[in-house]
Amino acid sequence: MLNRDLVIPAIATVLLAILFPLYWSNLYGHAFDGFDTAFQQDLYSLSWSDALFMVIGALEIYIYWTLARVLKNHLSLRLARTMLIILACIVAIFHATILFDLYFAITGQEMQPDTFSNSAVVALFIAGGCLLLYSVFAISLALILLVETAREQVLLKVFAIMLLIIATLQLTMVFAYVNLLLFPMALIVLTLFFSKKPDTLEVV
């Protein structure tokens, strides 16, 4: 039985599960020719992928905010709600790096193949810092959910386990590409959690 109160969040998670690998697999494909070059090419140009980047960010923020709202009545998960809000803020800052693309597009500044411009270095620093912070807080969230979540909330525990693996892989950088598969799978689990019957899930 579908929880009608969370139909939109459930649809959002499915949509993100589809769009996330679509965007990042394309970027990872270009990165095989050299991350610096791929990053600069993406930074110094505006394309459909930039619009997709913004949509992905908006969906992810909405999903974290919704999950935090769902957990509002669970007093033991108050810290988990704080972690979710922090994650949403980090995602917002990360996706705000699109402003650098807009800056280069408006100013008409050309890509410098050999060196990063100062603006590109700042953008790379912000993006890298956000990914690092995301991993740290995601690991914290996963551990809190595993410890504090009730036994009957199996789907939430499964999501926490997958989130823990995802965040750990992202910290390694080398194996982060595996998340192209794992993150969408975690989102599907979250979709099932959102879709639970109203009498088995507290919603505010």
Q: State residue 199's pLDDT score.
A: 45
b/e per residue, 65-86, with b = 16+ CB within 10 A?
bbbbebbeebeebeebbebbeb
Higher pLDDT, 43 or 99: 99
Model confidence at 35: pLDDT above 60: no
Residue 138 contacts residue 108 (beta carbons within 8 Å): no
**Which strand (E) or helix (H) includes residue 177?**
none
Higher pLDDT, 63 or 119: 63
Residue 79 contacts residue 144 (beta carbons within 8 Å): yes
Q: What percent of the chain has pLDDT over 90?
A: 49
Model confidence at 33: pLDDT above 80: no
Tell me how far apart the alpha carbons of residues 155 and 144 are, in angstroms, rounded to a whole number: 15
pTM, full prediction = 0.86
Q: State residue 48's pLDDT score.
A: 82
CA angle at 73 for the pair 68 and 74, rounded to the nearest 5°: 85
Q: State residue 77's pLDDT score.
A: 82
Report for 34-48, 111-125, 162-176: range of highest mean pLDDT: 162-176
Mean pLDDT throughout 90-98? 94
Report for 70-74, 115-119, 153-157: range of highest mean pLDDT: 153-157
Mean pLDDT throughout 183-188? 96
**161 burial via Cβ count (<10 Å: 0-12, 13-18, 19+):** middle
Model confidence at 62: pLDDT above 80: yes
> CB neighbours of 74 closer than 8 A, spacing ≥ 6?
80, 148, 202
Model confidence at 184: pLDDT above 70: yes
